[in-house]
Amino acid sequence: MIIIALIAIIALWVMGLYNKLIARKNGVRNAFAAVDVQLKKRYDLIPNLVATVRQYMEHERGLLSEITALRSRAVQPGLAPQERMEIDNQMTQKLHQLNVQIENYPNLKANESFMSLQNTLSQVEQEIAMTRNFYNSSVTQYNTQIQQFPNVLLAGLLGFQPEAVLETAAAERVNVDVGAAFREDVPGQVGGEMPKGRPEDLTPPAFNKPPADPDVDDVDILDESPKQTAEFETPPDETPYERVPTSPDQSDIPPIDNPPIHHDTFIRHQGPTQELPEQQGSIPGDDNVDPNINPLR
């Protein structure tokens, strides 16, 4: 019974492993089918692209012939996935060369039919890149499932072999020199290079200083040297902060401490008692105030 149970457990494990690997392999096939659909879209656009470009690019017939030959090879039935992807990488390189040469033909870039084809081709290229990434992800999961232990002991016996990922074409891995688009020949700068020379020769000229006015003395606002200031001396007969009486009558006035303040009277100054002039009219609230009464007494 124990041996039979062990055999049953191993059989169930093998069946489960086989089903998992089959599911992974079918996922890889579906991912490659999505890539193949996008590649066919690009191959369908190439004849119209070549026919439009040939009208303007008389000196690039050799490159156009190579693109046409690669397209004929790619649409042949029965190609292995790896062989098809090799043709696709070559096609990508040739189309990259074609785009570089197109920059020398401004009349072609102004053609509406060509611009429409180029925009459509650019969208297809983006879709190809997305489906290629999905295919590589599916292949990675499938290969990982095969190489794990103990799956690696039976994967080969069950007929499962690792799959290869799709590599990016060499033309797509080239770094684009964005700075070259902004480098122009300007005075003092050839081929986008900075002018060479001593730093003092490269500094901008100084602004011309306006002529000095002979009637105005030059003043240096940054001069921090001590300046001579006029000193005012106190006369010997005067003491600072001492009130000097101006008349003999004022010297007899006693000091006033906390004088009474009437609620309707505002004292403007403290000094000798002066009679207030008669006010014209009446002020509200002053009906009961005697104008002859001095509030300081």
pLDDT at residue number 252 = 53
Residues of the chain by 3-state class (helix, strand, coil), percent to 5: 50, 0, 50
Rg (CA), the chain: 51
DSSP-assigned beta bridge partners for residue 189: 186
In this prediction, residue 235 has a pLDDT band, given cuts at 50, 70 and 90, of low
- Nearest by Cα to 132 from 33, 215, 22, 258: 33
The predicted pLDDT at position 25 comes to 92
| 142 and 163 Cβ atoms separated by less than 8 Å | yes
Strand partners, 186: 189
Tokens describing residue 13: 């494990």
Structure tokens belonging to residue 119: 């925009």
Summary mean pLDDT of the chain: 71
Q: In the predicted model, what is the mean pLDDT of residues 248-273? A: 51
**What is the residue-wise DSSP string for 249-270?**
HHHTPPP--S----TT------
| 8 A C-beta contact, residue 260 and residue 295 | yes
Which structure tokens are listed for 179? Answer: 């700075």
In the chain, pLDDT over 70 holds for what percent of residues?
56
Q: How do residues 127-159 score in pLDDT, each as one tens digit?
A: 998 999 999 999 999 999 898 888 888 888 888
**Residue closest to 102 by CA, chosen among 85, 120, 80, 117:** 117
Please give the Cα distance from 147 to 140 (Å, whole number). 11
pLDDT tens figures, 7-60: 888 888 888 889 999 999 999 999 999 998 999 999 998 888 888 888 888 777
- Tell me whether the omega of the peptide bond preceding residue 254 falls within 30 degrees of 0, making it cis: no
- Which pLDDT score, from 0 to 100, does residue 29 have? 92
**Angle, vertex CA 19, rays to CA 17 and CA 25, nearest 5:** 100
CATH of domain 2-164: 1.20.1440.20
More confident residue, 163 or 257: 163
* Model confidence at 188: pLDDT above 50: no
The predicted structure's pLDDT at residue 131 = 92
Is residue 140 within 8 Å of 28, Cβ to Cβ?
Answer: no
Q: Which amino acid is at 286?
A: D
In 3D space, the residue among 106, 115, 124 whose CA is nearest the CA of residue 49 turns out to be: 115
**Nearest residue to 35 via CA among 163, 167, 146, 134:** 134
**pLDDT at position 224 over 60:** no
**Confidence class for position 291, pLDDT limits 50, 70, 90:** low
| Cβ atoms of 43 and 121 closer than 8 Å | no
Look up residue 177 and give its DSSP letter.
-
pLDDT mean over 203-230: 51
| pLDDT one-digit tens code per residue, 57-110 | 877 788 888 888 888 888 888 787 778 888 888 998 988 888 888 888 888 888
Task: Indicate if the pLDDT at residue 209 is higher than 60.
Answer: no
Spatial contact of 250 and 270, defined as CB atoms under 8 Å apart: no
Domain boundaries, given as residue ranges, for the chain: 2-164
